[in-house]
Every structure is written in structure tokens, then in C-alpha cells.
Amino acid sequence: MRGKNKQGWGNLRQISYAVFCSRDGLPLFYDTYEGNRADAREFPLLVERFHSFLQSLSGVKERPKVTVIFDKGNNAQTNIELLDRLNLDFIGSLKLGEHRELTAISNNQDARWVVCANPDLEGVRTFSVEKTLYDKTRRLVVAFLPELHTNQRKT
């Protein structure tokens, strides 16, 4: 199928894929789908298939010990409700425009910010806050990445 990609080329044949990996990057499950189908529409189908796959492996109906990580393109109320219903932990990205009050917090002067201890995250500062999203209180982690900030200011 012909699909649109981020480079704007709509005339190329394209396939899309989703991969669920272990913490160490070992692929556990994957699926492919037609390139003209939106990721956001495929997301719930893929999560359901992955959840079924994990249950078939374990042979029990208990909650799998996984965390689903996704970008803001899949952040929709129906997708979050699905993750809640399946009792899956998740980390998702939020749309900046929907949480402007968090962007107004100074990254230099507010005492909530904590410097990340991991050497790979040098200079990164974070804080967490609870907020009601999709009818449930959730913990949000706000991060300031100086290198990303500098590069975005240039462009």
C-alpha cells in the first residue's frame, strides 16, 4: 500500500511495524500493517494482540509485568482507557498545548526540579505532579533537557 511518511513522500510503497521489546531491547513481539493505516488506529489492535500473546505465554489471566511506552500520537482517551482496562502500566507523551500551566514553571528557579543522577542524563532535570487525565488521577513527569532546549531554540 502507498502511505504517507514523515518526509512527505506519499507515492512510495510502505509498511509499518510495531515492536514490543524487553528492557534490554530483546524483541518479544512484533506486527506489521499497511503503510496507509494511521499508527493511532493500529495502536489499540496491537496492544490487544500483545496482551493476548503475553497471556498465552504465561497460561494465566494475571496482569503481565510490562510497561507500554508510546508517543503522543497514540495518546487518546480510548487508548488510555484500553490500557487501564487491561491493567497495563504505561508511559506516554503528552501534547504540550494541553498542559500549558506546566510549561510556565521556571526550570531555573522552582524548587520542585530535581537533577537526574544517571550520568547518561547529565543536565536533565525533572519533577512530578499529579493531575486528572482521562477521568483518573495520574502522575506526570515533566522533564527539561538542556541540549534539546538549545537545539529547538536555534530552529
Query: SS3 for 60?
Result: coil
Which position has the grid cell 501534547?
95
Q: Which of 62, 93, 124 is the last residue of a domain?
A: 93
| Residue 101, burial from CB neighbour count under 10 angstroms (0-12, 13-18, 19+) | exposed
| Same-domain pairing of 138 and 150 | yes
Handedness of CA 95, 69, 152, 140 (dihedral sign): positive
Query: SS3 for 132?
Result: strand
Residue numbers of the domain that contains 142: 95-155
pLDDT band at residue 37 under the 50/70/90 scheme: confident
Which position has the grid cell 509499518?
16
Q: Which of 48, 74, 93 is the last residue of a domain?
A: 93
Flag whether pLDDT at 36 surpasses 70: yes
| Same-domain pairing of 103 and 66 | no
pLDDT band at residue 109 under the 50/70/90 scheme: confident
Lowest mean pLDDT among 17-21, 59-63, 116-120, 147-151: 59-63
In one letter, which amino acid is 121? Answer: L
Whether 65 and 23 have beta carbons less than 8 Å apart is answered as no
Mean pLDDT of the chain: 86
Q: Domain total for the chain? A: 2
* pLDDT, position 139: 95
Flag whether pLDDT at 63 surpasses 60: no
* pLDDT, position 87: 87
Flag whether pLDDT at 70 surpasses 70: yes
Q: What is the pLDDT of residues 111-132, one digit of tens each?
A: 899 999 999 999 999 999 999 9
